Amino acid sequence: MRALGHHGALPGEQDRPQPFGIDLDIEADLERAGASDDLADTVDYGAVVDAAVRVVTNERWRLLERIAQRVAREVLAADRRVHAVTVTVRKLRPPVPVDLDSAGVRVRLFRRRAFLGLGANLGSREETLRAAVAALPDVVAVSPLYETSPVGGRPDQPPYLNVVVELATALSARELLEVGQRLEAEAGRDRTAEERFGPRPLDVDVLWVDGATVDEPDLVVPHPRMFERKFVLAPLADLVPELVPEGWEETAAGAVRRLGTL
């Protein structure tokens, strides 16, 4: 497909519309559509195309790499049946001092399984958790709700409510951390004023992202203490029992009580 956009790093490039070519290679599970021949069972290709063109026509970026990344993210957001997408963006007739028809880049973005742990022990705990889960992107499943004893910190603080949420997402572990911290702030959490392992209106931990290993000062994935805590392992075992270690009920710290669904 082709679209006019205002992108470029050279002086004046964003002042005039320029033609861009966009190619999409979509990966999705089409078995159901192939069997049913029903339009409702296949990818909404119109929505996917609209998402790609909208990025090129409505946004302004300096680099082709950034345009391609934005197109890929919007395509994945346009239809959850799309598991992965390869995006090629070409600038037609680029302003270079050689005879060049186009210059382009290609990126591939795909969904990965990720697990977030959510907990709250201040305020309207269940309402806070429900609002946080509703605001998360790419949710696939939510564990049962557990009331749990605090692990670490003051022993006199209130009990927590905890859930684990499974995502199928193209967001990186760092981006998931940023989403979680935004939700914490919206719930009234002030990380600069709280005590370590103290009570909080909302806590969002990035527990696991398939294929990702992160070791940075403010982010470690897999979470370094996830296999030591019953308030993580009990709800995690409900969603993905193969991920939790055998015998965790005897070795992990804390007490948990299953309450039902969130």
Active-site positions?
91
- The separation between CA 219 and the C-alpha centre of its own chain, rounded to angstroms, equals 15
**Contacts of 224 by beta carbon, 8 Å cutoff, 6+ apart:** none
User: Across-strand partners of 256?
Assistant: 148
H or E element, residue 65? helix 64-78
Report the C-alpha gap between 74 and 188 in whole angstroms.
30
Report the C-alpha gap between 142 and 236 in whole angstroms.
9
The pair of three-digit structure tokens given for residue 111, joined into one six-digit string: 């969904």
Residue 159: helix, strand or coil by DSSP? coil
User: Across-strand partners of 85?
Assistant: 26, 109
**Contacts of 260 by beta carbon, 8 Å cutoff, 6+ apart:** 144, 145
Most distant CA atoms of the chain, gap in Å: 74
Rounded-to-10 torsion of CA 126, 131, 134, 139 = -50
| Contact yes or no for 143/243 (Cβ under 8 A) | no
The pair of three-digit structure tokens given for residue 182, joined into one six-digit string: 């935004």
Report the C-alpha gap between 255 and 249 in whole angstroms.
10
